[in-house]
Structure 1
Amino acid sequence: MEILIKRIYILTILMIHISRYISLAIFIKNKESLELVAVVHRHGDRTPLEFYENDPYKDVEKYWPIGVGQLSNRGKLQLYNLGKTLRKDYKTFIPRYSTQAVRVNSSSFDRTLMSAASLLAGMFPPIGDQIWNYQLLWQPIPVHSTPLNKDMILSQLAPCPRYWEEYAKVITELAKNVTQEDEKLFEYLTKYTGQNISSYCDVGSIYTTLLVEDRNGLTLPKWTSRVYPDQLLLKTEMCVASYTWNSVLKRFFGGPLVKEILHQFEKKSTGHIKDMKLFLYSSHDSTVVSLLRALDFKGLIYPDFGASAIFELHLVQQKYYVKMFYSNFAESIHFELDIPSCSTPCPLDELLKTTEYVRSVDWETQCFE
């Protein structure tokens, strides 16, 4: 009888526990508990950043009249549509733009600044008294940026000798692990591109150029069919992952953005930014990958143009939880992710503890040790 009573007690506690999390999941899913949103996205489709020596399309004036590294019309549309998707998802939570509720940050590149503006055009068309021109249902929204030489968060170009010292060690180690198959790929690319290809990031440079040319309807040289896209994509993923290959690199290259997002979530949870509802961060492929890797996500990915990671802060039964979503493309569904080293749903205080190491970097002192 005593054993039966104990079993009933344990079963009751278990059912209460399960019931709590089922109701919690339903509550969060309906967004009734939503308190704050942070969106980190890659810029939209762009023109090539650089060209290989034998590139038949390196005549910028002829093929890329808007210049190198610039947001294309396709890229503008991608981010506009991403903005429309975000509007649909969060229309009830953020019915209209206001400076008190929305903060937009971008790296200081034309393509990211324009991507942010395109997204905002889709997410926040003027409503009611915001309409200032009935022939143009658009409103100007400020986009903030930091000079590249001071930006440790989005462009990650602020000087940090300590980071590059550690990165050089990683590159040396990766070079030791290059396979015979890799060597054959490097030789093949060297032969046909007309320039020395000897690392994963050299391959990544070729891949991104071919990707842009392909997306813009240009016929790629016949030699590319043997290696593009699959072989080149895998090495490109390796290249982007190398920036955060170990825990030290994660602290410098991904940690500052993790710190920024969770700092805003902390401030919201303590009532210091009561009116804030949305933070937007317009960035790059390396930014998105370093963010995911700093949070300890495994595997290799290469974010396509307009890829985005979304963080939601929820308040349920006086406790804060974080949910995360990801889409590898601008115009696809965001899938929910289980945040590594955190229970599901992920309590904010637990996430703060598990990310303490990557958030603890003191840029001003540790970068110059």
Structure 2
Amino acid sequence: MRRSFFPVNQKSTKNSVTSWRPVPIYTAPDHLIKPTSFDCPKYNKLREAIMPAIIANISSKYDSFFKYLGNVSGFGDSISFEQVLQIYDISREIANGLPQPDWVYKIWKEYDGNSTLELLKEMQRLRRFHENSHENFSYLRGGFLLGEWLTRLKNVTKGIQYPPTKMALYSSHDGTLQALMHILEVSNYQLIPYAACIFMEVYKNKQNDYEIELYLRDSDGNLDVIIPYNCTFPCPLNEFLQTYEPKAIFSFRRLAQECELKNCLNEASVSGSKGLLNKNDD
């Protein structure tokens, strides 16, 4: 732990038994499991074309709410939409049983009797929805992860299973799951629950045909079936691939091209078997 938190200096290494060095953590964006941190110029351009007007409408509608938040939070009367979203981070504290000030539960009659917390949740929901509302948004944010999953599926049918051969786990974020659900066209336009999980299973049925099952587990442990777009449950693999292959991005080079990055890095490979994606809030 200390090797990560404390920098090397002459005093710290002089009497050290080992020649330790600090270990960098999260030093690079992850385009696979946290595409919200990956710089995609094309996505940014599309977002900047529509979001200012949307944010202006939200700010106007919730003007008195924003001013109140600016006062109780310390951000001031000029509080921005992004600063309002920062306040929503208290939801994680609440999920872990930490007490909150009374203003968090203040009831707003002018906003359909919702509490401050509920209105903050609505702000976050609107943000996540509009981040993926356009088809190109979900493609640029969720297409690469979808490509990873589809490649793993196809490898199973070909008997090409690279480690791990039974299950692949992805620790991710709510924005990643939102993008994946939008590109799969199975989103309910609500926020991803805290500590939720999406997982996919591929198996052979009695007729020796491959089928897919998708599930969403919420923060209470409830398991909901996800029916893929234009398919059944379970969904035949060939139909699943036929629907989603055109929406997927199968290499980093392709992702870089779609994002209009000037310098494309080496192509990233994808492979696999079962896909499971956990959400840790960013």
The 5 A counterparts of 1:200-215 are 201-208=82-89, 210-215=90-95
Give 1:313 deviation, angstroms.
0.6
TM-score w.r.t. the length of structure 2 is 0.70
SS of the residue 1:353 aligns to: helix
Give 1:179 deviation, angstroms.
7.0
Give 1:202 deviation, angstroms.
3.5
The 1:310–1:216 alpha-carbon spacing in structure 2 relative to 1, beyond 3 Å, is closer
The 1:288–1:164 alpha-carbon spacing in structure 2 relative to 1, beyond 3 Å, is same
Is residue 216–residue 226 contact of structure 2 (8 Å, CA) maintained in 1? yes
**Residue type of the alignment partner of 1:263:** T
Cα deviation 1:112-150 (Å, max 9, x = unaligned): xxxxxxxxxxxxxxxxxxxxxxxxxxxxxxxxxxx633x
1:318 to 179, 183, 208: 208
Deviates more, 1:171-180 or 1:245-254: 171-180
Give 1:203 deviation, angstroms.
2.8
- Sequence identity of aligned pairs in percent? 23
Aligned to 2:135: 247
Give 1:166 deviation, angstroms.
1.2
SS of the residue 1:243 aligns to: helix
- Length, aligned pairs only: 222
Give 1:238 deviation, angstroms.
1.5
Aligned to 1:341: 230
Q: Could you tell me how far apart the structure 2 residues matched to 1:171 and 1:344 are?
A: 36
SS of the residue 1:178 aligns to: helix
Q: Could you tell me how far apart the structure 2 residues matched to 1:185 and 1:225 are?
A: 13
Aligned to 2:183: 294
Give 1:273 deviation, angstroms.
1.3
The 1:262–1:250 alpha-carbon spacing in structure 2 relative to 1, beyond 3 Å, is same
Give 1:359 deviation, angstroms.
0.5
The 1:348–1:234 alpha-carbon spacing in structure 2 relative to 1, beyond 3 Å, is same
Is residue 325–residue 334 contact of structure 1 (8 Å, CA) maintained in 2? yes
Aligned to 1:154: 33
Q: Could you tell me how far apart the structure 2 residues matched to 1:301 and 1:228 are?
A: 18
2:49 to 165, 169, 186: 169
Give 1:309 deviation, angstroms.
0.5
Give 1:213 deviation, angstroms.
3.3
Task: Give unpaired runs (5+ residues) of structure 2.
Answer: 6-24, 107-114, 262-282
Q: Could you tell me how far apart the structure 1 residues matched to 2:46 and 2:116 are?
A: 31
Aligned to 1:366: 258
The 1:355–1:322 alpha-carbon spacing in structure 2 relative to 1, beyond 3 Å, is same
Q: Could you tell me how far apart the structure 2 residues matched to 1:299 and 1:333 are?
A: 16
The 1:218–1:307 alpha-carbon spacing in structure 2 relative to 1, beyond 3 Å, is closer
TM-score w.r.t. the length of structure 1 is 0.55
- RMSD of Structure 2 on Structure 1 (CA): 2.5
Is residue 231–residue 240 contact of structure 2 (8 Å, CA) maintained in 1? yes
Give 1:353 deviation, angstroms.
2.1
Aligned to 1:263: 151
The 5 A counterparts of 1:268-279 are 268-273=156-161, 276-279=165-168
The 1:274–1:213 alpha-carbon spacing in structure 2 relative to 1, beyond 3 Å, is closer
SS of the residue 1:229 aligns to: helix
**Residue type of the alignment partner of 1:324:** L
Higher RCO structure (Cα 8 Å, ≥6 apart)? 1
The 1:328–1:204 alpha-carbon spacing in structure 2 relative to 1, beyond 3 Å, is farther
Is residue 210–residue 236 contact of structure 2 (8 Å, CA) maintained in 1? yes
Aligned to 1:224: 104
Give 1:255 deviation, angstroms.
1.1
Give 1:216 deviation, angstroms.
4.7
Aligned to 2:11: none
Task: Give unpaired runs (5+ residues) of structure 1.
Answer: 1-66, 68-107, 110-146
Aligned to 1:234: 122
Give 1:274 deviation, angstroms.
7.7
**Residue type of the alignment partner of 2:160:** H
Q: Which has the larger radius of gyration?
A: 1
Aligned to 1:84: none
Is residue 207–residue 228 contact of structure 1 (8 Å, CA) maintained in 2? no
SS of the residue 2:168 aligns to: strand
Aligned to 2:8: none
The 1:348–1:203 alpha-carbon spacing in structure 2 relative to 1, beyond 3 Å, is farther
Is residue 251–residue 357 contact of structure 1 (8 Å, CA) maintained in 2? no
2:62 to 172, 178, 182: 182
Cα deviation 1:207-240 (Å, max 9, x = unaligned): 12x2233345443222222233211111111212
